[in-house]
């Protein structure tokens, strides 16, 4: 203790009152030093994050923007850069959209089971299991997707092609490998599931007891109680959860690089090999190793597009979530 | 509409823990019955067992009988949800639904019955319930504002309006005034007086003057000793309880010589 007392007056800035408080008790002055150290650390971390983000943005702009004029060879054989990046962007958004359509209801259901339906002991174990899904490396998801899921989905796709073929999404023909947009979306859904579930169940569990009891005392069933109190309370949180899941789905690389064939095209047909456009992230992973010269710029430009899209999605989401909070 | 409640040999457990032991009483229809007693003696637990709300807590269960108008609440075939639709409850802290307007709060319970209410019927029910809760004149111009914007006392009356909108047979109140100031408390007490002509009211209170003011009959709950289950010490007309109670411990508690 004595050591800290002697050190502390020497620490503060000379201009501050530190010099005149040599005689203050040790609790006060060490507390002040602690405050400063902590304030410095947190401000420093905040600034660092902004610098890193700015650094990434500057790098992408500097390296990517020159590729705007690329065409032909340097745009991988396309007429202009947008003809190359556009389909990739489309593939990215489509895969993420499929993933969210599948993952959102599933995750909310699982989160409700954990927070409100299952007995506590089972719920805890079940929660751990879902969390474990997040710990699986994405390359493993990719291998599972290509060697197990895709093959097993082929009969399902065949059935869809036969019975739902009048919808443009399910026209077929179904490839024997099962490597389709739908498979990619499903793999992404499984990967996004633990994030969405974990956040949703935390918010669901925080719903005030008094409101839940109010609903139950009015004669609400458990589901009615959830609709009256849990969902309105958790709405903006659920939205943020879905956005974080969407963030993962948009940026996911390895699993998609393995599952989807590396083609660049626009198609809404979800269950053909020809209709499966790769995503920006997977395309960069597939091509960057062999790229040189202006092709590198093209790939970096596609990264810039992904960066902007992810940024925009997050901003939009935060704005909507904030609006929801004011209402609640 | 209002109904009486017969309780016989009721034991209430939380898991293996016996919280309330051996309660026998008859709660008369169209009267106000108050429960008093020190904290932790099981009066709230007992109150919540009257509409099966204590079951919300995992592991809670009862032994014994609760009969409402000859129908046992705890028969295996009885759905707790339908019990709660007949026996409404008002809680210690006002708990209007935060995302709903005043109007929607009043209708919340009614809408659960799945029957579609027309606009006119809804308006009438809202007015009737809010008038019943002495809140109509204060809120009639802002029915579409959130219920959370009201003062604490108004919120509590909104909760009472919400409870009586489903026309229950019994209204349970768990320390409804403990979070309110004296003026709001007095408003709620006046309301209890008016409601008793239509409903059977059971109220838990820490305030003995309140019990004396509003109730027709009073039950005194106490612990036999620390760690022992709570039990009903005495159940008598309020006048008798506060002037000439049968039990010495009742007198000690009421007069403040508790221990």
Architecture category of domain A70-327 in CATH = Orthogonal Bundle (1.10)
In angstroms, rounded to a whole number, what is the distance separating the alpha carbons of residues B121 and B142? 19
Q: Å from A210 to nearest chain B CA?
A: 6
In angstroms, rounded to a whole number, what is the distance separating the alpha carbons of residues A156 and A162? 10
In angstroms, rounded to a whole number, what is the distance separating the alpha carbons of residues A121 and A124? 5
Q: Å from B112 to nearest chain A CA?
A: 6
Element (H, E) at B72: strand B71-72
**A227 - beta bridge partners?**
none
Band (A229; pLDDT cuts 50, 70, 90): very high
pLDDT of residue A5: 39
Band (A79; pLDDT cuts 50, 70, 90): confident
Write the pLDDT tens digit of every residue in B19-48: 999 999 999 999 999 999 988 888 999 999
pLDDT of residue B160: 92
Q: Which range among A95-99, A186-190, B132-136 shows the weakest confidence by mean pLDDT? A: B132-136
Q: State whether A219 and B109 contact (CB < 8 Å).
A: yes
Where along chain A do its domains lie? 70-327
Q: Which range among A188-202, A224-238, A257-271, B68-82 shows the weakest confidence by mean pLDDT? A: A257-271
Q: What's the order of all strands across the beta sheet hosting B87-90?
A: B71-72, B60-68, B5-14, B17-27, B230-237, B217-223, B32-36, B200-204, B170-174, B87-90
The residue among B98, B144, B145, B159 with the most chain A CBs within 10 A of its CB, best to mutate, is B98
User: Is residue B162 situated within a structural domain?
Assistant: no
B22: domain CATH number is 3.40.50.300
Phi/psi for A25 (5° steps) reads: -65, 155
Write the pLDDT tens digit of every residue in A192-216: 999 999 999 999 999 999 999 999 9
Write the pLDDT tens digit of every residue in B213-226: 999 999 999 988 87
The residue among A118, A205, A209, A214 with the most chain B CBs within 10 A of its CB, best to mutate, is A214
Give the domain range for residue B71. Answer: 5-95+170-254
The answer, yes or no, to whether residue A21 has pLDDT greater than 60, is no
Chain B residue with minimal CA distance to A325? B99
The answer, yes or no, to whether residue A175 has pLDDT greater than 50, is yes
In angstroms, rounded to a whole number, what is the distance separating the alpha carbons of residues B241 and B257? 15
Three-state SS for B226? coil
The interface predicted TM-score (ipTM) is 0.89
User: Is residue B151 situated within a structural domain?
Assistant: no
**Planar angle of CA B135, B136, B140, nearest 5 degrees:** 125
pLDDT: which is higher, A285 or B1: A285
The answer, yes or no, to whether residue B97 has pLDDT greater than 70, is yes
Per the confidence metrics, is the pTM higher than 0.90? no
Mean of all residue pLDDT scores within chain A: 84
Report how many domains make up chain B. Answer: 1
CB pairs under 8 A between A and B: 67
Partner-chain residue, chosen from A119, A213, A224, that has the shortest CB–CB distance to B53: A213
For chain A, the residue count is: 328
In angstroms, rounded to a whole number, what is the distance separating the alpha carbons of residues A10 and A19? 8
In angstroms, rounded to a whole number, what is the distance separating the alpha carbons of residues B3 and B87? 10
Band (B238; pLDDT cuts 50, 70, 90): very high
Q: State whether A218 and B166 contact (CB < 8 Å).
A: yes
pLDDT of residue A14: 43
For chain A, the C-alpha Rg in angstroms (whole number) is 26
Q: State whether B166 and A120 contact (CB < 8 Å).
A: no
pLDDT: which is higher, B108 or A27: B108
User: Is residue B184 situated within a structural domain?
Assistant: yes
- Is residue B228 exposed (0-12), middle (13-18) or buried (19+ Cβ within 10 Å)? exposed
């Amino acid at each position: 203790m004595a050591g800290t007392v002697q050190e502390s007056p020497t620490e503060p800035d000379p201009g501050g009152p530190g010099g005149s408080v040599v005689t203050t008790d040790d609790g006060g002055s060490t507390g002040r030093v602690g405050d400063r150290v902590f304030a410095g650390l947190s401000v420093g971390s905040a600034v660092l994050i902004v610098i890193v983000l700015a650094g990434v943005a500057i790098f992408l702009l500097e390296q990517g923007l020159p590729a705007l004029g690329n065409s032909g060879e340097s745009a991988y054989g396309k007429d202009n850069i947008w003809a190359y990046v556009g389909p990739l962007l489309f593939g990215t958004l489509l895969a993420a959209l499929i993933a969210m359509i599948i993952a959102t209801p599933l995750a909310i259901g699982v989160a409700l089971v954990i927070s409100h339906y299952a007995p506590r002991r089972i719920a805890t174990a079940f929660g751990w299991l879902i969390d474990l899904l997040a710990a699986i490396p994405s390359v493993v998801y990719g291998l599972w997707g290509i060697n197990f899921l895709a093959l097993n989905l082929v009969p399902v796709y065949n059935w869809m092609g036969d019975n739902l073929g009048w919808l443009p999404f399910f026209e077929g023909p179904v490839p024997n490998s099962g490597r389709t947009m739908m498979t990619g979306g499903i793999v992404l859904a499984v990967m996004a599931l633990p994030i969405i579930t974990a956040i949703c169940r935390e918010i669901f569990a925080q719903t005030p007891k008094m409101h839940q009891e109010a609903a139950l005392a009015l004669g609400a069933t458990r589901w009615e109680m959830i609709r009256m109190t849990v969902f309105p309370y958790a709405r903006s949180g659920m939205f943020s959860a879905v956005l974080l899941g969407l963030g993962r789905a948009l940026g996911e690389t390895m699993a998609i690089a393995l599952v989807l064939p590396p083609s660049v095209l626009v198609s809404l047909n979800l269950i053909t090999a020809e209709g499966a456009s790769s995503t920006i992230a997977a395309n960069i992973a597939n091509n960057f190793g062999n790229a040189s010269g202006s092709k590198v710029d093209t790939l970096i430009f596609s990264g810039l597009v992904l960066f902007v899209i992810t940024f925009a999605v997050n901003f939009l989401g935060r704005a909507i979530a904030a609006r929801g909070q004011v209402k609640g | 509409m209002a109904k009486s409640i017969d309780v016989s040999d009721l034991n209430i457990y939380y898991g293996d823990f016996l919280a309330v032991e051996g309660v026998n009483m008859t709660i008369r229809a169209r009267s106000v019955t108050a429960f008093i007693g020190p904290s932790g003696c099981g009066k709230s637990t007992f109150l919540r067992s009257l509409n099966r709300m204590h079951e919300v807590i995992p592991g809670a269960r009862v032994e014994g009988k609760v009969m409402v108008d000859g129908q046992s609440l705890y028969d295996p075939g009885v759905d707790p949800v339908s019990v709660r639709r007949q026996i409404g409850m008002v809680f210690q802290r006002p708990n209007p639904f935060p995302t709903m307007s005043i109007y929607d709060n009043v209708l919340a319970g009614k809408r659960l019955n799945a029957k579609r209410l027309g606009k006119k019927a809804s308006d009438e029910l809202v007015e009737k319930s809010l008038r019943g809760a002495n809140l109509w004149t204060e809120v009639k111009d802002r029915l579409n504002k959130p219920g959370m914007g009201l003062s604490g006392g108004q919120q509590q009356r909104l909760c009472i309006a919400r409870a009586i909108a489903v026309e229950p047979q019994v209204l349970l109140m768990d320390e409804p005034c403990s979070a309110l100031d004296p003026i709001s408390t007095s408003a709620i007490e006046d309301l209890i007086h008016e409601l008793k002509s239509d409903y059977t009211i059971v109220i838990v209170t820490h305030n003995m003057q309140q019990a004396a003011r509003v109730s027709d009959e009073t039950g005194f709950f106490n612990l036999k000793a620390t760690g022992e289950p709570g039990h009903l010490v005495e159940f008598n007309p309020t006048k008798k309880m506060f002037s000439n109670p049968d039990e010495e411990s009742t007198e000690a508690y009421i007069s403040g010589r508790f221990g």
